[in-house]
A = this chain, B = another copy of it.
Amino acid sequence: MMTKIAFIGLGNMGGPMAQNLVKAGYDVCGFDLVPEALDQLEQAGGSKAESVAEAVQGASAVISMLPAGKQVESLYLGDGGLFKTVGSHCLVIDCSTIEADVARKVGQQAEEQGIDFIDAPVSGGTAGAEAGTLTFMVGGRAETVEQARPYLEVMGQNIFHAGGAGAGQLAKICNNMLLAILMTGTSEALKLGIDNGLDPAVLSEIMNNSSGGNWVLEKYNPVPGVMPQAPASHGYRGGFMVGLMAKDLGLAMNTAAGSNTATPMASLAENLYKIHSIHSDSTLDFSSIIQLYDSVR
């Protein structure tokens, strides 16, 4: 008999993640408020539930992928929450990107009720979700991470154990905050070169092989035409939307406020993204921030 997994939240990320679990031979029972999302899972070989309760019935693992902390709290905590109904044998993996505080609170309540819980936000976007090449940043006990590894390896390529409860969220927040700085900073350096007559492709290659080297230059050049496969070369479509980067930067600013950490560069990057979304389309890829520096839109 197949191991049953309940998958809550079948959106752009959750949908393909659940389907990868189906392909790997698991009995995946999904729940989502959008009927089409449920139908897609069914067509891919999974089953659909009419309620969360039905989905988790008899499941060995619950995986959730929800938009924000509020939904995660409401799914697991409180009188009607899953932590009251799933047994202590059940493994719970939350892949949503949410406040570390909320993740810690959920983790603590899980612990009190003897439930194995990890926070496991991902990076890699919808493309990574479909290809099963996501990166997981995981917070929780080491044993629980090992227990979850077989499932995570089906959906992703890299699994990093960042520390205790909430550490997965923290690592992702730190990483994406740094990514915003890399993108704005790389855009400025490239624009300075272009404005002074350098070829952006040549400058990109030089910097990427020097001390300016970074992920953006390697995989995600913001200048149209430098990398054929990058969103910049496709009208900044696809990729990681400005609105989502703005959400992650909001989480970072919130975290910095909580720990009283000075983050002048990150705060500026956050504000530049805010200004960019005011005057642009927040569904564009986040590398479109280079347009803020450029008169040609």
Verify if A188 is at the interface (C-beta below 8 Å from B): yes
Q: Which residue of B lies closest to A163 (CB)?
A: B198
- Select which of B137, B193, B255, B271 is within 8 A of A264 by beta carbon: B271
Verify if A265 is at the interface (C-beta below 8 Å from B): yes
Q: Is the CB of B163 within 8 A of A202?
A: yes
Q: Is the CB of B257 within 8 A of A262?
A: no
Residues of B within 8 A of A196 (CB): 100, 170, 255, 258-259, 261
Interface SS of chain A = helix
Q: Which of the 9-residue segments A109-117, A140-148, A177-185 touches chain B? A: A177-185
Q: How far is the CB of A170 from chain B (nearest CB, A)?
A: 5
Residues of B within 8 A of A179 (CB): 211-212
Q: How far is the CB of A159 from chain B (nearest CB, A)?
A: 10
Q: How far is the CB of A253 from chain B (nearest CB, A)?
A: 6
Q: Is the CB of A198 within 8 A of B167?
A: yes
Residues of B within 8 A of A190 (CB): 174
As for how many copies of this chain the complex holds, the number is: 4
Q: How far is the CB of A128 from chain B (nearest CB, A)?
A: 11
Residues of B within 8 A of A173 (CB): 192
Q: Is the CB of B262 within 8 A of A274?
A: yes
Interchain CA distance A116-B295 in the complex, whole Å: 37
Verify if A90 is at the interface (C-beta below 8 Å from B): no
- Select which of B177, B199, B209, B220 is within 8 A of A158 by beta carbon: B209
Known contacts A171-B203, A272-B264; decide if A213 and B212 are in contact (CB<8 Å). no
Q: Is the CB of B265 within 8 A of A265?
A: yes
Q: How far is the CB of A193 from chain B (nearest CB, A)?
A: 5
Q: Which residue of B lies closest to A175 (CB)?
A: B212
Q: Residues on A close to B: CB < 8 A?
A: 100, 123, 135, 137, 158, 160-164, 167, 170-171, 173-179, 181-182, 184-186, 188-193, 195-199, 202-203, 205-207, 209-215, 218-220, 250, 252-272, 274-275, 278-279, 292-295, 297
6 extra A-B contacts, CB within 8 A, seeds A160-B206, A171-B206, A181-B265 = A163-B199, A171-B198, A174-B198, A192-B259, A211-B215, A264-B271
